[in-house]
Amino acid sequence: MRHAILALNAGSSSIKFGLYDLEPSAELQLVSRGKLDLGDAPRLSAKAADGTVHCDRPLAGDARNAGIDALLDWIESELGGRKLIAAGHRIVHGGREFVEPVRLTPAVIEGLDRLTPLAPLHQPGSLAPIRTLAALRPDLPQVGCFDTAFHQTIDPIVSRFALPRKYDAEGIRRYGFHGLSYEYIAGRLKEISPALAAKRTIVAHLGNGASLCAMRDGRSVDTTMGFSALDGLVMGTRCGAIDPGVLLYFVLERGIAGDALQHMLYEESGLLGISGISGDMRTLEASDDPNAREAVDLFAFRAAREAAALANTLGGLECLVFTAGIGEHSAPVRMAICERLRWLGVAIDEPSNAAHAEIIGRPDSKVEIRVVATDEESIIARHARAQGNA
């Protein structure tokens, strides 16, 4: 019987997963990658590393619990009789305490639950499959991997808000997110070339959730997300950076309650709010509606503006990397961002960009421009292997 590690990347409406065979003397080998859809039509789907469909079936009962149960049954009974020896999880917020992967015990889970006010729409979704898996397989080691951990290297002058100092001591500071994606990209750049990894680099993780990270020598030095996953760039349904006076106006003058304001900022804003059509970039790029065009333009404008600010933190810009769903697949968005950064020496090659090539900069570009597919699940599996004593 082959031993395997399961990496779970939970969102609000789906759980992405990767299954990896354990090879003690080599890298973990991807067996299957898939998704548990938890929406109106719950479904388990998975494909092998070569794209072959492994599984595609509807789920019955409570979507989240039934989905995890069906996934375990499929792995252990149908997929070559593999035995799970560890499971790793992406957890959005680790706060100040959890700055590296950790074995998940009841006390740790309780501590992570206390961080829910820092990520109210994300943390519960991160913790739900951990609890389900613990109930179904109480002896299975589980490891938590934190999106905030990669940014622990940020200098206090970057992470501090200009609020009374007592609040910083209470944990009101900029944390940064998408750390597992940035950790993967940092490692990938080092594999390509140690010299490349040492460059002043901005990584653009552009998806439904979006952020930028300034890094050098594989370490985060600045990022666009802050205390919460609302900050920074325009996102699918999230507003990004906003004048706090607007929020005070909503509360004090319009009488909008906290829950309603939270829902507006997380679920009704961003690309969806601007366009009035969709929060999906693919839908907006295919639309002739001027509001859709404005939403796409604002997305690119804000990304370029924030990139320029991060270049200031870095003291220059030598490499620009696009990753995640929009970053990897939207040539128009990449073009729009790069065009706004021409003054920094960014020169994009249109044919290479249209072909989604690995390197999309012109030969005369002063900034190396790359497209690198991210793989958060592989990072989660690697940490689960180490921390779970697999």
**Binding site listing for ATP:** 16, 205-209, 280-282, 325-329
Rounded to the nearest 5 percent, the helix, strand and coil shares of the chain are 40, 20, 35
What distance in Å separates the CA atoms of residue 389 and residue 269, rounded to the nearest whole number?
43
Give the CA angle between residues 77, 78, 80 to the nearest 5°: 95
SS3 call for 331: helix
SS3 call for 1: coil
Among candidate residues 36, 34, 77, 42, the one with its CA nearest the CA of residue 59? 42
Question: Residue 390's CB: how many other CB atoms inside 10 A?
Answer: 21
Which residue among the candidates 37, 147, 222, 349 is catalytic per the annotation?
147
Using an 8 Å Cβ cutoff, are 319 and 196 in contact?
A: yes
Pairs from 242-250 (Cβ < 8 Å, separation ≥ 24)? none
Among candidate residues 38, 132, 146, the one with its CA nearest the CA of residue 93? 146
Question: Residue 48's CB: how many other CB atoms inside 10 A?
Answer: 16
Where is the binding site, in residues? Answer: 9, 16, 90, 205-209, 280-282, 325-329, 376
Backbone angle region of 103, left / alpha / beta, with phi > 0 → left and psi within -120 to 50 → alpha: beta
Among candidate residues 192, 210, 228, the one with its CA nearest the CA of residue 319? 192
Q: For this structure, is 147 an active site residue?
A: yes
Residues composing the chain:
390
Where is the binding site for substrate, in residues? Answer: 90
Q: Which residues belong to the active site?
A: 147
